Amino acid sequence: MTMSVRLQKYLAEAGVASRRASEKIIQDGRVAVNGRVLRELGSKVDPAHDQVSVDGHLVRLKRKLYVALNKPRGYICSRYDPLERQSVSKLLPKEWTNLFTVGRLDFNSEGLIFLTNDGQFSLRLTHPRFQVRKKYLVTLEGPVEVEQLAAMTRGVTHDGEKLKAERTRIIRRNNSQSIVEIELTEGKNREVRRLFESQRLVVTRLQRVQIGPIKLGELPTGKWRTLTEPEIKSLLPSGATDGPA
């Protein structure tokens, strides 16, 4: 069984242009399928069997990649930085220049982050409506109180924005240091740190240890691995058609 896709989507996923720009390319008569020029935007192609060309040049879908990385502290998630700080892209093979991070971990945070060239996969994991849980281990200065964590799960306002933890749990606590496990679904900018700041708690280490069902596990700091097909499917909604290709 094969699956057909709209021609403009095919061109976008092949890296020719955005979907909207691809529509104009089709309407301008620059696209041929199996040697026949198609101008209809509703046209569909079978990626496994049809040959698509633009201006006479054959175009193919890019292989989709899904990578899990244990981000070290002191790295940024953006590929380019005016301050010339180290980017996580430097930890990957040089030929993977088209990968982008799924969400962010800030400069001083560490742990599990995904990289991909699949925009639908990224949207699935970052948009609040999908409620994908992310779990963090947070080390704090001094003791933490149960009521402080309860306030975070009820929801707090920080810099005029509502923040909320889905779940918190004390892993270890003494007079000098506390370790707390916290789960979120929205992933607003610096949300974990801001939640603790709202309770006047000082974060000394922040590590993401799980995204959805995928755990950081024993992946060494600074190292990466590709996600397995079952792992990718576990992160996508049932029946999704924009998974690995």
Report residue 30 CA to chain centroid gap: 34
Q: How far is CA 42 from CA 27, 46, 48, 55, 98, in A?
A: 11, 13, 19, 20, 28
Length of the chain: 245
Give the active site residue among 46, 106, 118, 159.
106
Assess whether 106 carries a catalytic annotation.
yes
Nearest C-alpha neighbor of 187 from the set 213, 211, 204, 219: 211
SS3 182: strand
**β pairing state of 224-226 and 66-71:** antiparallel
Report, as residue numbers or ranges, the catalytic residues.
106
